[in-house]
Amino acid sequence: MWKLCFCLPFLLLDIGVAKASASIYLPSQTALTDRGILQRFDAEDNASSLQFVENVNIEGTLFQRFPPELLRKLSTDCLVMQKHRWGITPEKFKANHALSSFFEIVTTCIDENSKTYVSTVKAKKYPITGFQWHPEKNAFEWGSSQIPHSADAIQVTQYAASYLVSLRFKMGRIMEWAARSDHLGGIPRKTVITAVGAFARAVANLCNKTKVHNADTLMTLVRSRPPGVPLITVSNHMSTLDDPVMWGGFKGLLSLDPELARWVLAAEDICFKNSFFSYIFRTGKQLHTFPEGKVFQEDEPIRRLKWGTASLIARCPVTPIVLPIIHRGFDEMMPEKYFYGRRPPFPLWNKDLRVVVGEPIEFDVPMMVETAFSASRHVLVPPLQEAKWPVLSSAGKELDETAQKCLYTALSEKIQSSLETLRLLAKRL
């Protein structure tokens, strides 16, 4: 949990009221001042520095990933934007037992009248952070001349965003125990894989008519490719049931052995939106990718691809085999706008489904890395957009952010071209 800027006083009062009366509510500003917890500060439109409390531990806080030099500059330079009238002094904070027993002060700020107020707090036992300044304004608001836009100020926004995203990923790791192969002797995983396989076969072959072209290419790569060489299949994305139904038309592909099952990247908002779905999809072991990044049901050329698949190829110590696949008819089986603009509750039937397997895409990764590295030397990077990505080691080269973008673009364009060629072929079959 985290609260930003003007919400910090409300968060503090919420906790104080909750601990005192076991109820939480958001009172009016009059009530806030009547309680004597908050008071007025002159910090409505000015940038300021952050003064870290002596010997404070920043682990688990917003600042844990900030570089030491940026932390130092936060204490000396005006890198954060203030835009609020209410706050709490450190003295009143410490004097309030409900607040001081729950929260720890991390930073303070000084307003235009040289009054000190609490600007960042963290809970002592819970993942709760509150900060009374605007980390987002540095990079995304340009209406006020008071907002700092220096390279350091932009970094503050980026590291703050990274922290909030990391919290989201921590929340997304719920039920990791269900993904372990030894969870309940592996029975839940085998059950899920069996059920998913049966569902895919039923939808593909009983409810609909599925025809697969060039299936032997995929089956050969699955069963007898060189040891230690990864296989990545990529395809267009026409419906939320593309995977697993598209595999139901392959005879002998859907194995009941969890160790032979494929992996697939899944949309968190669909597959992990509640505890039941999270458990089911954690126990499954499904790497197939949809590099377009979302469902497209229009019969149009393959769109610009996301860089995720390219990143997998670039980071893999052994160049993987990348196999393109195009499928058609899945938009009719599971249309996005079927009834009042919503998907049907179950797959439709009596549809003609077609899956076309292409030939492996040839990647000379060392050559592409060399080309990307050379091309990046000629790209001018604006001062406020200096490289912030971690350096990537690939094919003996150290690639900065610009070089990585050049490499990912080249890899993605090659996959896109192969998918488009296969899409045109599938239309003629």
Q: How far apart are CA 92 and CA 38, in angstroms?
A: 8
Query: Are the beta carbons of 101 and 15 closer than 8 angstroms?
Result: no
Q: Which is nearest to 119 in space by CA: 46, 30, 35, 208?
A: 46
Query: Are the beta carbons of 51 and 107 closer than 8 angstroms?
Result: yes
Q: How far apart are CA 313 and CA 318, in angstroms?
A: 9
Q: Is 213 a catalytic residue?
A: no
CB atoms within 10 A of CB 36: 9
Q: Is 134 a catalytic residue?
A: yes
Catalytic residue among 84, 134, 288, 327: 134
Catalytic residue among 5, 109, 207, 406: 5
Q: How far apart are CA 231 and CA 211, in angstroms?
A: 23
Positions marked catalytic? 5, 134
